[in-house]
Amino acid sequence: MQFLRRIFTREKISVDTSLETTEIETDTSEVSHYMPGLNVAYQTDVGQVREQNEDSLYALNVYLEANDETIPFGIFIVADGMGGYLKGEVASSTAVHTVADYLLSNIYMPILNENTQSAKQKPIREILEDAILMANTKIMETTPEAGTTLTVAMVMRDELHVAHVGDSRAYLYHDNDLEQLTVDHSLVARLVELGQVTPEEALVHPQRNVLYRAVGQTDDLDAEVYYRSFPANSYLLMCSDGLWGLVDDEEIAHILSSPPNLQSCVSNLITTANANGGDDNITVILVGMGELPM
């Protein structure tokens, strides 16, 4: 397909499911903040305490040529698996694969190559919901005792669509302001929101790890989908709780504010999480939006 002009990243990076934890090699493509369109960096790390990495991630970043227009297009996914006996990592990587496949065949081809849109084509929100439901069914079939969080971002032109279940987060960083786009599906997030416990108490609350929604748990899963614009010179940050549980928003914003390039930002975030204890697997995807090619 000739309109796949450039591919920045490898197609799939999910953690090795073998027992020996292999070093996840990090992306080395030269990306800076100032290139047009999307720029991506990512990394996943086992952390300081755990033996396995149960997180999975996916990043696809391409340009499409359609109707005299160059369209940046990207799919970014973070999944944090859970459930003992190595099943968590199977669940998270199943989720990531399933969603990516579904999105590529349902959005990428049909939607981007047309300038007459039809009501017969499903809205993006429903495609994202279906993709997550598909992952849900797969996991319930293959690893019923495991589950995973799932946070999916799809970028098309300057549009950002985020779908999520669980507590892996997506943030938008713009003008020195870090805005959390997703609302964790966790008991403590809700308790904090309602003022029953303080954010500080939440960090040590006995039920802090309880999610009320995760992929692979029940048939009727309700994903949350948000639409946002993705303005030039802003950044999308996606991460598992291994990052946000140990590095607070202020520190994250600080690291994002002074980078030589995206990849070193990502490394800094992971180093900081490890320095603060690294009690869980840490996964980070950082997507920068440059000025769009018109």
Contact in structure between 252 and 237 (CB atoms under 8 Å): yes
How many C-alpha atoms does 23 have within 13 Å on its Cβ side?
Answer: 3
Binding status of residue 83 toward another protein by CB under 8 A: yes
Record the tokens describing residue 83, joined without a space. Answer: 């459930």
Candidate residues 11, 145, 249, 291; the one interacting with another protein per rule CB under 8 A: 145
Reduce the DSSP state of residue 123 to 3 states and report it: coil
| 174 binds another protein per the rule CB under 8 A | no
Q: What is the CA 12 to chain-centroid distance, rounded? A: 13
Judged by CB under 8 A, the stretch of 2-10, 29-37, 182-190, 267-275 that binds another protein is 182-190
Establish if 85 lies at the interface with another protein (CB under 8 A).
yes
Q: Does 169 bind another protein (CB under 8 A)?
A: no
Q: How many residues of this chain interact with another protein, rule: CB under 8 A?
A: 51
Interacting positions 108-127 with another protein (CB under 8 A): 111, 115-126
State in angstroms the smallest separation of the CB of 122 from another protein.
7
Interacting positions 218-277 with another protein (CB under 8 A):
218, 220, 222, 224-229
CB of 256 to another protein, least distance (A): 23
- Nearest CB to another protein, comparing residues 10 and 293: 293
Q: Does 192 bind another protein (CB under 8 A)?
A: no
Instruction: Evaluate whether 266 touches 252 at the Cβ level (below 8 Å).
Output: no
DSSP 30-51: ---TTSSSEEEEEEEE--SS-S
User: What's the maximum distance between 2 C-alpha atoms anywhere in the chain?
Assistant: 56
**DSSP line for 88-110:** HHHHHHHHHHHHHHHHIIIIIHH
Under the criterion CB under 8 A, does residue 12 sit at the interface with another protein? no
37: left (phi over 0), alpha (psi -120 to 50) or beta: left
Which spans of this chain sit near another protein (rule: CB under 8 A)? 82-85, 111, 115-126, 145-147, 156-159, 161, 185, 187, 190-191, 194, 196-197, 205-207, 209-214, 217-218, 220, 222, 224-229
